[in-house]
Structure 1
Amino acid sequence: MLWLVATGFFMQTLDTTIVNTALPSMARSLGESPLRMQSVVIAYSLTMAIVIPASGWLADRFGTRQIFATAIALFVLGSIGCASSQTLVQLASSRVVQGVGGAMLLPVGRLAVLRTFPPEDYVRALSFVAIPGLVGPLIGPTLGGWLVEVSSWHWIFLINVPVGIAGCIATWFAMPDARSEVKRFDAKGYVLLAVGMAGFSLSLENIAAHGLNHAAVLVLLIVSLASFVAYGLHATRAPAPIFPLSLFRIHTYSVGLLGNLFARIGSGAMPYLIPLLLQVSLDYTPMQAGLIMLPAAAAGMATKRAVPMLITRFGYRNVLIVNTILVGAAMASFALISSEQPTWLRIAQVAFFGAVNSLQFSAMNTLTLKDLAGAGASSGNSLFSMVQMLAMSLGVTVAGALLAAFGAMSASGRGSLPVFHETFVSVGLITCASSWIFAQLAREVRRGRHDGEAGEM
């Protein structure tokens, strides 16, 4: 069962990053501009953000075996649809189906592990499951680039098919059909949140696609904000809201959650922007663009052990304020990239970003979850997972909108490189501004009285 859950987690995390290096090839095949392909990434991550809150209730209602098998089946069907797509709309629609399946793989698999193993084995079992999830983003960009060069972009989706079919078969033999008492699902609250997330993301997407004056932007933005406000009012009087507002009474959780939302916008944009920059403006091949991302992953893994020591020595507040500014500065530094820049300096630049970005994830995640316990642990963790995926979607959406805006303002014949430079500076400034959120941490947390174990996702 552990191998089955780990494989599902690997498939989910791999497909979050594998498409990034293939976007220019997809654009040429579909007759689209490479700078307008962000919907392929957004459709997947936004769908995951929307579906994740319902995954636990579905597993309780229908059983972990049926939902896990359904998740794999949807993931495979979405992959086949992506590979057979002839237009960008078809590709984005298939990514939605893929995202529905991917959203249920990890939460339902983790739930099955917790209901199968005794408490003393939880840590070892969940650590085993998490390892492939770290490997997926590590090899995703390089594998995507390699598949594009040796065959075509269609194979980045078709490789999921045999693995998924084997996973569906294995699920019926290895996955226990664990169920639990089904509580009433907060359907109204769920719909309000889903409409709010989709409307806000799509309003930014309309900026990228149609420009700042498009009327749909204003309509979608107002609808999304009204939905979020309506959910807040609903949660104050609903007997069992999907995410109780009492979670925000936990100081470290509220600061960590909001910090994750805004700081991850820049972090979500970078895996989309860097391979695109290298291929569109610097004539890298897909394989070369994927390989240039490896130093970021390697440096990120190397810095993980330093996180608990830094937090113990300097406290959460100081670490997060300083490191958030470093992450933003690292993003803005990509505005210095040019065709004359030596390769070794480019690799060092990517590695530095990977190191500080990994430290940021680990510190933010530990802060968010360190005081979350008791009855609110399940809903709090689910909300946290949703916010992570939403921020990733918003990152790509913001990056696409900035590229479109700066591209529209740029002089003809200027080329795409200055447009990327201006986008990197803007994303870096957004990230630096999120350090203000971490500056609101209370004094006792600033002094680092609470130690924590760092986590990635």
Structure 2
Amino acid sequence: MTAESPSITPVEPKLPDPRLMAAIVASALFMQNLDGTVVATALPAMSRSLGEDPLVMGVAITSYLVALTVFIPLSGWVADRFGAKQVFLVAIGTFTLASALCGMAGGLAEMVAARVLQGLGGAMMVPVGRLLLLRRVRREELLSVTTWLTMPALIGPLLGPPLGGLLTDLISWRAVFWINVPVGMIGMVLVWRIIPPLPASLPPPPDIRGLALTGAALACTMFAFETLGRGLVPAHLAEGGVLAAIVLTVWAIRHCLKTPHPALDFRLLAIPSFRVPNIAGTVFRVGAGATPFLIPLTLQLGFGASAAESGLISFASALGAFAMKPMAKFALRRFGFRNVLIWNAVLAALCIALCGAFRPGWPMAAIFTVLLISGLCRSLQFTAMNTLAYADVPQEKLSAATSLYSTAQQLPQALGVAVASAVLQISVALAGREGVALPDFTAGFLVAAALAMVAGPLAAGLPRDAGEGIVSGGGARKR
């Protein structure tokens, strides 16, 4: 450029509306949430088709969730190294392919293998999609973007139970997996055309030892929950799994605390607004994660309802969750994050416990109402935790924060299914019955409610002004 030439200031391209980007990224959450609810509804039919016990078929859910949890810690590093948009596209493609393979499975082993591949795709899909948004929004936009991100995703569980029941009764349980294929293809096109890329960087080498330790600890934890006291493997193997899980978990935490760039950065838990959604949220999600597994089984095995009837009733929880999203901002502004997380956890736990009282003599309208209120409470709790978690995390720590928080979101869902399934089998064994009955489901709901209730006191550790500025629109994200 010559001295006479005017200087030209480069103009950054205008970014799409954050709400539009959130809605597109939510296509990934839509698939994941749709998948979870339709599989639970189709589980009895799957067990009959594949010749497996319905309680053992719970592994079709937990194998996916375990794979999801094991691979999530790597997602932040992969996104930084290869570019979040590129990784997000590959993840959606992997999830879509695995869904098609699930629909073609001819036995439990094939189903588990396909679900593990699906978990690998999901592990990169959801946290990386969230990272694409978090690096584009300001602090005061967090609640709005979180709402737009989760509302389309809630359509999945809203449609999941009735759609899963109808597809299972009218076509086959295999159709509940095939439905992800067109959704995934549309999502990939929208991401490719509209979402702007984030530049790749050269992050430090991945913490291979930390990834191995955390993965082994998570796998042993799930093995212990799936087998302890259930007679699926010799007792000494189940007990060895418990011991291995404890040792590996302590080892992994100690390693991650000493490593400059760990697989999971537990040092972020020093931030109160990040610590409480992780710790209290983990306990709450175990209890909440048991209910989508227990409700369809209660209605189909306990009440004798068909898959379609079960789906039409149990979708009330998702309807309540969807309805809460527009009201969440008012509730958080009126009562504050701390009060909502304490008292709403108690109310949600009471709703879960009330599900244990369901009997065939109950009017379906009453069951629907309980599930609707339960969905409202769970949705408000999740919205508050998901919004608060990233409010005070510095930009340079967002990749690490998404990896840790996504792990804390996904592991409890697998634990919830495993705990519920274990409680059912233990209750059956203690009663000397050959099959599951309504009192066994009551025990499962009560255990789930007790776990969700613990989240209330844990949330009391939040400062009273936690989240200030998020719902009122003030402040800026820490840099």
Question: Scaled by the length of structure 2, what TM-score is found?
Answer: 0.84
Tell me by how many angstroms 1:447 deviates. Answer: 6.1
Partners of 1:411 and 1:247 in 2: CA distance: 48
Tell me by how many angstroms 1:148 deviates. Answer: 0.4
Instruction: Specify the alignment match of 2:287 in structure 1.
Output: 266
The answer to whether 1:7 aligns with 2:27 is: yes
Aligned partner letter, 1:106:
V
| Maintained 8 Å contact 1:8/1:105 | yes
Instruction: Specify the alignment match of 2:464 in structure 1.
Output: 446
Backbone CA RMSD of aligned residues = 3.0
Instruction: Specify the alignment match of 2:45 in structure 1.
Output: 25
Instruction: Specify the alignment match of 2:477 in structure 1.
Output: none
The answer to whether 1:378 aligns with 2:399 is: yes
| Maintained 8 Å contact 1:38/1:396 | yes
Aligned partner letter, 1:238:
T
1:198-255 residue CA offsets vs partner (Å, 9 max, x unmatched): 1111110112752697222222222222222122222233222233332121123222
Aligned partner letter, 1:258:
I
Which range moves more in the overlay, 312-321 or 138-147? 312-321
| Maintained 8 Å contact 1:61/1:179 | no
The answer to whether 1:291 aligns with 2:309 is: no
Partners of 2:350 and 2:192 in 1: CA distance: 49
Q: What SS is found at the alignment partner of 1:340?
A: coil
| Maintained 8 Å contact 1:403/1:419 | yes
| Maintained 8 Å contact 1:55/1:108 | yes
| 1:352 paired residue among 373, 382, 392 | 373
| 1:41 paired residue among 36, 55, 61 | 61
Question: Scaled by the length of structure 1, what TM-score is found?
Answer: 0.88
| Maintained 8 Å contact 2:268/2:401 | yes
Which range moves more in the overlay, 308-317 or 423-432? 308-317
Tell me by how many angstroms 1:173 deviates. Answer: 6.5
Instruction: Specify the alignment match of 1:214 in structure 2.
Output: 235
Which range moves more in the overlay, 217-226 or 159-168? 159-168
Instruction: Specify the alignment match of 1:181 in structure 2.
Output: 201
Partners of 1:110 and 1:311 in 2: CA distance: 22
| 1:397 paired residue among 396, 403, 418 | 418
Change (3 A) 1:103 1:342: same
Partners of 2:334 and 2:139 in 1: CA distance: 30
Change (3 A) 1:446 1:209: same
| 2:346 paired residue among 316, 320, 325 | 325
Partners of 2:333 and 2:139 in 1: CA distance: 26
Aligned partner letter, 1:357:
R
Which range moves more in the overlay, 275-284 or 35-44? 35-44
| 2:272 paired residue among 251, 273, 288 | 251
Tell me by how many angstroms 1:128 deviates. Answer: 5.4
The answer to whether 1:97 aligns with 2:114 is: no
Aligned ranges 1:36-75 → 2 under 5 Å = 36-64=56-84, 66-75=86-95
Change (3 A) 1:251 1:338: same
Tell me by how many angstroms 1:126 deviates. Answer: 7.4
| Maintained 8 Å contact 2:41/2:161 | yes
| 1:80 paired residue among 79, 100, 110 | 100
Instruction: Specify the alignment match of 2:221 in structure 1.
Output: 200
Partners of 2:185 and 2:384 in 1: CA distance: 37
1:63-120 residue CA offsets vs partner (Å, 9 max, x unmatched): 44553343233223322321222222221221111111122223334445677x7879
The answer to whether 1:135 aligns with 2:119 is: no
Tell me by how many angstroms 1:305 deviates. Answer: 4.4
Change (3 A) 1:30 1:410: same
Partners of 1:28 and 1:108 in 2: CA distance: 37
Instruction: Specify the alignment match of 2:475 in structure 1.
Output: none
The answer to whether 1:148 aligns with 2:161 is: no
| Maintained 8 Å contact 2:127/2:402 | no
Tell me by how many angstroms 1:59 deviates. Answer: 2.9
Instruction: Specify the alignment match of 2:363 in structure 1.
Output: 342
Which range moves more in the overlay, 53-62 or 285-294? 53-62
| Maintained 8 Å contact 2:285/2:412 | yes
Which range moves more in the overlay, 151-160 or 77-86? 77-86
Determine which structure has more spread, i.e. the larger CA radius of gyration: 2
Aligned ranges 1:357-368 → 2 under 5 Å = 357-368=378-389
| Maintained 8 Å contact 2:76/2:400 | no
Aligned partner letter, 2:290:
A
Which range moves more in the overlay, 58-67 or 130-139? 58-67
Partners of 1:265 and 1:287 in 2: CA distance: 26
Change (3 A) 1:173 1:16: same
Partners of 1:32 and 1:209 in 2: CA distance: 16
Partners of 2:281 and 2:171 in 1: CA distance: 38
Q: Extract unaligned runs of 5+ from structure 2.
A: 1-15, 473-479
Change (3 A) 1:446 1:128: closer
Aligned residues: 450
The answer to whether 1:159 aligns with 2:179 is: yes
Tell me by how many angstroms 1:264 deviates. Answer: 0.7
Which range moves more in the overlay, 291-300 or 331-340? 291-300
